[in-house]
Amino acid sequence: MPLFIKRDQIYAHQIHLLEHKLRSKEERILELETENALLHLRLAECLGKLRRDNEDVLQAQKHRLHQNHVQKYTQTALAKLLTEVQVLKQDLRDVFAVYVGFATELDEQSREILERVGSASPALQGNDGELQSLQAQVDALKHSLQEENERCRTERLRRKLLHNTLVELRGNIRVHCRVRPVLPFDAGLGQLALGSGSTLEEVVQAVNDDSVLVSCSKPGTSAMNKMFEFERVHGPEDSQEAVFEEVKPLLTSLLDGYNVCIMAYGQTGSGKTHTMIGTEDFTRPEGAPLQGVIPKSATELFRLISEKPAESHTVEVSVTEVYNNEVFDLLSKDCEGVAIGTKRDVITTSTGTSEVPALTHELVRSSVEVMQVISAVLRLRARSPTLVHRDSSRSHLIVTLTVTSKSPNALALARRLQSARQELQRPSQKEWWSPRCRRAASSRSASPASSPYHSPYHSPCLSPRPSITQAQIRTKLQLVDLAGSECVGMSGVTGAALWETSCINRSLSALSDVLGALAEQRPHVPYRNSKLTHLLQDSIGGEAKLLVMLCVSPTQRFLAESLQSLGFGARARQVHREPARRKNTTLKMK
């Protein structure tokens, strides 16, 4: 075997050795790294454990500290509580001592009273007879008081009847007054009432069934009371039914041959439309209790008619409105049959009565029909909101029911009337053939015989011997819902509404002037100063039985207006007119 070894082989061998060493080193490094990792892991575990242990210790220490604190706090609170309990105990002891004191006192007093009762009872037994006689006296007094009350009531009724007869004889205007309840809007739609609580104070009161008491008080002056008397006074609690009950007797007069007029007067928002119309749902029977005078009058009229089957009656209705001093016929229709409200004139006829030519009348057969006709045109009535009343009527509404009655009674009455008039009014032969009479006769023959406005007895010229075939009486029931007077400052109206207000106030003051002239029996009564008074001339001036329904607001806010309305009512009662006259009987002649 050769002794020398090639250098390459030596190098290769060395490299191999080195590689081997390197591998073993690397393995060692790997081992050490694994070991290191294991050690790290263990260290982390240890650290974690140590931290957890530390936290537990810390928590335990915190808990201990908290407990110490709570303990200390509880001890302080307990000490405080104990002190309070001590104080309460002391208080209780004091209260108990007072109670015991009271109880002892009460005990003593009751014993004393019992002793007194004990000593008084024999004396009382002795006075038994006296007591009985006293009781008898009391009973007798009670009885006589009852009798007095009854007498007073009868006397009151008698007085009322006498008063009514007097009213009838003197032709006075009847005045009823209705004080409405305080309503939410009294608190003030306008700014004027804001902040003034006194404005809601009730200063107008119905004190009994014929008197109204007004308490007038001004700041800084002593209160002054004013009393007004009317034929009937209704308070805020009175229903529509109660108000109508007092109006009802007038309707009987209508079929007895009298004209009747019922007129609601009062300031804006005082309840005129409520009283006259009531609920506008008047075509339905369930609304009946809330209906006002107009629907109730229609119902009553047809009820009265049904009670007289021997007579034949026809009823016609017309509805007029006086707006801005113009008269409108609310039942007039355009060519398509739509109600339009046409302007009409008021004239004075040759007989001195007022009349609206071409006024539309609709024939009605029941109260339901009357209300259907009225409700269909009520929407045409001028209304607008003001600061005092959200739904203020800006016009005077006049519903007229004309009743034509044909009856055996009317025939008998007509015959009597005819012979009496023939005696009084028969014209001489010369007069009869005078041109004036001939004109009158020819104009009569040109008009329909049944026309209410062309009675042959309205003319001084009579047919010498008329033969009567039928007699009829036409009477009118006028139901008037006046527009309300208003103070412009309060109602806050401007523009067109201001003009409306001025027209309303002017027509109402014309009405007042007419009453003034009638009360003073002046020769000239200024009916023609306004369309309203001209239209209502017959009713106001004595041809009709007239009832004014005064509507009044009860609160301090409207005191001035309420006093004005009550003053108007008082003045109306002073008017002595000609007693109401029966309507002339119209005859149909062959």
**240-255 and 293-306 are packed helices; what angle lies between their axes, rounded to 10 degrees?**
40
Q: Is 537 in the site for ligand ATP (CB under 6 A)?
A: no
Residue with tokens 């609206």: 356
* Nearer residue to ligand ATP within complex by CB, 293 or 414: 293
Q: Is 174 in the site for ligand ATP (CB under 6 A)?
A: no
Q: Is 418 in the site for ligand ATP (CB under 6 A)?
A: no
* Nearer residue to ligand ATP within complex by CB, 280 or 311: 280
Decide: helix, strand or coil at residue 240: helix
Q: Is 489 in the site for ligand ATP (CB under 6 A)?
A: no
With CA atoms as reference, report the closest residue to 242 among 326, 339, 176: 176
Structure tokens at 507: 């027509």
With CA atoms as reference, report the closest residue to 306 among 246, 255, 242: 255
Among 172, 268, 472, 586, binds ligand ATP (CB under 6 A): 268
CB of 555 to ligand ATP, least distance (A): 12
With CA atoms as reference, report the closest residue to 583 among 350, 412, 417: 417
Residue 311 near residue 409, CB atoms below 8 Å: yes
* Nearer residue to ligand ATP within complex by CB, 320 or 393: 393
Structure tokens at 283: 């075509």
Q: Is 319 in the site for ligand ATP (CB under 6 A)?
A: no
Size of the site for ligand ATP (CB under 6 A): 18
* Nearer residue to ligand ATP within complex by CB, 274 or 545: 274
Among 188, 235, 257, 266, binds ligand ATP (CB under 6 A): 266
Structure tokens at 5: 């070894």
Q: Is 272 in the site for ligand ATP (CB under 6 A)?
A: yes
Work out the number of other CB atoms within 10 angstroms of the CB of residue 152: 10
Q: Is 295 in the site for ligand ATP (CB under 6 A)?
A: no
Distance CA 428, CA 557 (A): 67
User: Is 321 exposed, middle or buried, given 0-12, 13-18 or 19+ CB atoms closer than 10 A?
Assistant: buried
CB of 291 to ligand ATP, least distance (A): 13
* Nearer residue to ligand ATP within complex by CB, 321 or 538: 321
Q: Is 176 in the site for ligand ATP (CB under 6 A)?
A: no
Q: Is 389 in the site for ligand ATP (CB under 6 A)?
A: yes
Among 250, 261, 301, 483, binds ligand ATP (CB under 6 A): 483
Question: What amino acid is encoded at 328 in this protein?
Answer: F
CB of 568 to ligand ATP, least distance (A): 14
Structure tokens at 483: 């527009």
Work out the number of other CB atoms within 10 angstroms of the CB of residue 499: 13
200 secondary structure, DSSP code: G
Among 484, 541, 542, 554, binds ligand ATP (CB under 6 A): 484
Residue with tokens 């007054």: 177
Among 171, 188, 257, 269, binds ligand ATP (CB under 6 A): 269
Q: Is 180 in the site for ligand ATP (CB under 6 A)?
A: yes
Residues that bind ligand ATP (CB under 6 A): 180-181, 183, 266, 268-274, 389, 391-393, 483-484, 551
